[in-house]
Copies of this chain bind each other. A is one copy, B any other.
Amino acid sequence: MRVADLGENNLIQRLSSLTKHAGRSVDFGNSDPLLLGPGDDAAVYRADAGIFLATTDTAVEGVHFTRDSICWQDLGWKVMACNLSDIAAMGGVPLHALVTLGLPMDTEINDIDELYAGMIESSNAYLFTIAGGDVVHSNNFFISIALIGHSNGTLLKRSEAEVGDLLAVTGHLGSSSAGLRILNQRKDQFASDSQTSLHTQRVPGFATITLKARSFLINAHRRPTPRLSDGHTLLKHGVKAAMDISDGLLLDLTKMMTSSGTMARIESWKVPIHPHTLRTFPADALMMSLTGGEDYHLLFSASPQVMEQTLVNIPQATIIGTVVDGPPGHVSVVDKQNKEFSLDYLGWEHFRS
């Protein structure tokens, strides 16, 4: 069945009933903060006085994803993870999501159900509700999410990095980028297969990936983990400056340094890269870790004392450099001999604009 067969109102009713209990594994009873979900002109929720967060993130078919590279359920999970990652990067907790779907009339209802399965999985994992949204016709598919969150009053900001701070990330970078590369190579391989033999290995190195590495990296691309609890740990130990890495370390670090009026010095050999990435793409792993997006780890900055305490509590986090005095927004990457990398070489220019 397709959208055109079901009709917009029936589709909205279907989605309302799908999401009714999502993110409510706790029995709120009369204290359910969501007073009115989908079905009226607006979602209605109750909140205590405090600080609230609002973010939005969108995925457009053909621009941010293709049906070759991700299934509908993973897409639902991933778009929600992008939004949750923004809330994590402020140190908040998610409360309510609004979901807007732009749908071609021939979209299969089954596909939309799977997309929602991924979002509902996310809402049950991170305990927020899907409070409403909108369904509109569009020639190409898109999904846009607005997410409201709560903060306990202290915030992780991009503008709070200070000269003398250490810079760290909450985990391996480049895994998502490596996963996407594998998916694209597979596609190229399929394309060439159709013209040559099924067993031709036209893409160098592809045959040497173990199944385990392959599934780990593809999973990193399709099912990123929003670092909500890491965000809370950062706040708890006094970290003030953080953001999530969605567009790649160098680009996002540039934003943080611009916002803080400082410069960063990254020690390239300290950037954490997963062994699967290193072994699968030995030549490109460093570039992937520096410029590859969508890992959704948190990048943060703190004084050496605060950093020490924090790293004890986030064991997988790693120091990668320092905040130094210099041109605001400048990022310098050096090797073990303290020689500066040419960032053009690293593909940096492609990501600048």
Contact = CB atoms under 8 A, between A and B. Distances in A.
A47 interface: yes
A171 interface: no
A49 interface: yes
A265 B131 CA distance: 32
A136 B100 contact: no
Nearest to A135: B58
Nearest to A49: B49
Nearest to A83: B42
A31 interface: no
A52 B46 CA distance: 6
Interface in A111-147: 131-134, 136-140, 142, 144, 146
Copies in the complex: 2
Contact of A42 (B44, B133, B149): B149
A260 to B, nearest CB: 11
Contacts of A138: 60, 63, 140, 142
Nearest to A150: B47
A98 interface: yes
Interface string A141-164: 010101011010001011100000
A100 B144 contact: yes
A54 B98 contact: yes
Given A39-B158, A60-B102, A146-B54, A48 B49 contact: yes
A346 interface: no
Given A134-B58, A138-B140, A43 B53 contact: yes
Interface of A: 7-10, 35-36, 39-60, 62-64, 85-87, 89-90, 92, 96, 98, 100, 102, 131-134, 136-140, 142, 144, 146, 148-149, 151, 155, 157-159, 243-244, 255, 259, 352-353
